[in-house]
């Protein structure tokens, strides 16, 4: 059975590097755990992409029953 967990952490102002350092150590240790299939860390990101605007916003979003989103960038540790 697969379980997916999503967590949001917000660093204290000026402490982003401390959190990034901790995650850089946490990620490989977690990926080494038996049964771990993936452990991916994202960081908030912004941007606009024409294909996203056309398909996600223009086609899919109008027919969703519920919608929330965040734009993120994968941190490759």
Instruction: Give the model confidence (pLDDT) of 4-31 as tens digits.
Output: 888 888 899 999 999 999 999 999 999 9
Mean pLDDT over all residues of the chain? 86
What's the domain range around 76?
37-61+70-77
Q: What's the structural domain count of the chain?
A: 1
Contact (CB, 8 A) for 71 and 49:
no
Share of the chain above pLDDT 70, in %: 90
Distance CA 23, CA 32 (A): 14
Contact (CB, 8 A) for 24 and 77:
yes
11 backbone dihedrals φ, ψ, rounded to 5°? -70, 150
Q: Is residue 28 part of a domain?
A: no
Q: For residue 1, what pLDDT is reported?
A: 62
Q: 3-state DSSP helix/strand/coil percent for the chain, to nearest 5? A: 40, 10, 50
Q: For residue 31, what pLDDT is reported?
A: 94
- Residue linked to tokens 């240790």: 29
Q: Is residue 77 part of a domain?
A: yes
Which of 36, 41, 47 lies closest to 9, judged by CA? Answer: 41
Q: Is residue 14 part of a domain?
A: no
Q: Is residue 54 part of a domain?
A: yes
Position 46 pLDDT exceeds 70:
no
Position 58 pLDDT exceeds 70:
yes
């Amino acid at each position: 059975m697969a379980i997916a967990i999503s967590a949001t952490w917000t660093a204290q102002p000026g402490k982003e590097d401390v959190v990034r350092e901790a995650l850089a150590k946490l990620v490989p240790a977690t990926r080494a755990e038996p049964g771990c299939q993936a452990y991916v860390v994202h960081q908030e990101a912004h941007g606009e992409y024409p294909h996203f605007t056309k398909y996600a916003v223009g086609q899919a979003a109008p027919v969703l029953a519920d919608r929330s989103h965040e734009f993120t960038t994968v941190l490759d540790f």
